[in-house]
Amino acid sequence: MRQLVLLFMFCTAIAHNISAQVGNTVYDTRQYKKGVYKTFQEFRANNPSVTGTLVVKNRTPAAQVYLLSAPNELRIIDSTGQEQKVRKFWGYSDGVSIYIKDNGLNKLEEIGYYCLYRINAITSAPANRATEGMVFNNTPPPTADKRVLNLATGDVYDLTLFNMRRYILPNDTALLREFNDDKQNKNKLVYYIQKFNQRNTPTW
């Protein structure tokens, strides 16, 4: 009888440990902890190491070109009520969504084996001699592109036909074959990312 009791307690402890681990990572849950991820590992574990009141400061397209800076930056309010720029971090969560730092702060539109996000950038513009190089009305519009983040490795790829064939889809040979046979594949890159996520589970 004592052995049965000990066996029951052992199994209960294992079950409790497993259940405590399920739902902790960003892949398993949609209850993101609010704060700053210093590293990719903190992001994946849904465990930001910096918490506090966060503020995102946006820049105008003209300021981005003139200052050669990102569209926005992250700041945190310190104990004195002053805003301080957050430095050397991977990304952050506002408790609802997750943002990766990649030429500014970009929202992860999908979280799965491959996380999808749109990166915004300003195209270059020739200097305006009449204003000593400052750009005003001739500021070009922002351009946008998509990238994917491998949740297992942390690798980031531009969402292109080449990368889909070479790096993103090879782990699913059947889906890669379907992609290569699809004559409209260049217009369906996001679709195939989503389909890959539905068919595959990341491990690390």
Query: What are the tens digits of pLDDT across the range 153-191?
Result: 999 999 999 999 999 999 999 999 999 999 999 999 999
Q: Report pLDDT for 73.
A: 84
Higher pLDDT, 72 or 193: 193
Q: Which domain holds residue 52?
A: 2-199
Distance of CA 178 to the CA centre of its chain: 27
Q: Report pLDDT for 58.
A: 76
Higher pLDDT, 84 or 20: 84
Give start and end residues of each alpha helix (H) in the chain.
2-21, 40-44, 61-67, 161-163, 173-181, 189-199
For residues 111 and 120, is the Cβ–Cβ distance under 8 A? no
Could you give the 3-state DSSP secondary structure of residue 25?
A: coil
Count CA atoms within 13 Å of residue 162 on its CB side: 2
Q: What are phi and psi of 175, to 5 degrees?
A: -70, -35
Q: Is the pLDDT of residue 122 over 90?
A: no
Domain membership flag for residue 96: yes
For residues 102 and 147, is the Cβ–Cβ distance under 8 A? yes
Of 36-40, 98-102, 131-135, 182-186, the one with minimum mean pLDDT is 131-135
Count CA atoms within 13 Å of residue 78 on its CB side: 6
Q: Is the pLDDT of residue 114 over 70?
A: yes
Of 22-26, 75-79, 108-112, 136-140, the one with minimum mean pLDDT is 136-140
Residues 21 and 127: their CA atoms lie apart, in Å, by 55
Counting the structural domains of the chain, the total is 1
- Mean pLDDT for 58-83 is 70
Domain membership flag for residue 204: no
Got the DSSP string for 77-120?
E-TTS-EEE--S--EEE-SS-EEEESSSEEEEEE-SSEEEEEEE
For residues 141 and 102, is the Cβ–Cβ distance under 8 A? no
Q: Is the pLDDT of residue 142 over 80?
A: no
Tokens of 112: 């799965």
Binning pLDDT at 50, 70 and 90, where does residue 56 land?
confident
- Mean pLDDT for 131-141 is 43
Q: Report pLDDT for 117.
A: 97
Domain membership flag for residue 34: yes
